[in-house]
Amino acid sequence: MNIDLHSYPPFSGKEIVGPKLLPQQGYSNENYIFYAEEKPYLLRKFKLEDRNRELEYRVQLLAYEKGIAAQPLILDLSKNLMVCEFLEGEHKTSLKKEDLARLATVLKKVHCLQTDAEVIPLETMFGSISDGLKEVFRVIETFPEEPVLCHNDPNPKNLIFSASGLKLIDWEFAGINDRYFDLAAVSVEFNLDLLDEAYFLASYFRMEGWEKEKLEAYKTVYKALCEQWFQDNT
């Protein structure tokens, strides 16, 4: 990679090793690890240009300040890259009750972050909408809107568990959405059964109730978006 990391103030004059391509890669970025004075950092080279990277950086910075994300250090749109601290930890494909409670707490913190982004119009994100999906959106419209800042992609690869806590990575899809979208995504991605789903929702809502029909509708929307996304990017 032909990038002079010394040209960025955080790394000026520091001994740098790398960057080295990571074995696990996502669909939207090339991910590299490098070391500056033995501390690891993540360099993400953007592969897709249809993302609001400035919003991603701002949101990740807000989340870092709340202790739920890696510290973002550099956004260079001229070179299509972002650098942040490298998080050590593990990805989990199944969650125990304590994990579900931690995730509910982290999502609650995400949903309390404030940004000036526009609400994501979910219906316009589909190339075509089946009659069944139209009915799902009609169901959603019967419930009050609950727009908050959402991560929008809380899948197992974007959650890092460590002794110091749980943090989210890859904020490129972050934006204003109904909070049920993130909650539905977790239920789908981790294939939660009825008991675990209820425990997760109770951990999130605390003394509030929740709308099961609304959650099911958003689960359908999330699954449809994932199916379309993978069709378009494979």
79 with 133, same domain: the answer is no
107 with 142, same domain: the answer is yes
What distance in Å separates the CA atoms of residue 151 and residue 74, rounded to the nearest whole number? 20
78 with 181, same domain: the answer is no
164 with 206, same domain: the answer is yes
Tally of domains in the chain: 2
Query: According to the per-residue pLDDT averaged within each range, which of 2-11, 50-59, 134-143 is highest?
Result: 134-143
Let me know: does 155 contact 129? Beta carbons within 8 Å: no
Whole-angstrom Cα Rg for the chain: 19
Let me know: does 67 contact 131? Beta carbons within 8 Å: no
| DSSP H or E run through 29 | strand 29-36
Where do the H-state alpha helices sit in 6-147?
Answer: 53-65, 97-111, 131-141
pLDDT tens-digit map of 102-145 = 999 999 999 999 998 899 999 998 988 999 999 999 999 999 99
| Of the residues 85, 119, 146, the one at which a domain ends | 85
CATH no. for residue 139? 3.90.1200.10
155 with 201, same domain: the answer is yes
80 with 103, same domain: the answer is no
Q: Residue 218 domain-assigned? A: yes
How would residue 1 be classed by pLDDT, with cut points 50, 70 and 90? low
Domain interval for residue 42: 5-85
How would residue 26 be classed by pLDDT, with cut points 50, 70 and 90? confident
Q: Residue 90 domain-assigned? A: no
Q: Is 143 left (phi over 0), alpha (psi -120 to 50) or beta?
A: beta
| Of the residues 85, 110, 127, the one at which a domain ends | 85
Mean pLDDT in residue range 191-202? 97
15: number of Cβ within 10 Å = 10
Share the mean pLDDT of the chain: 94
Give pLDDT, residue 57. 97
Q: Residue 92 domain-assigned? A: no
Mean pLDDT in residue range 208-216? 95
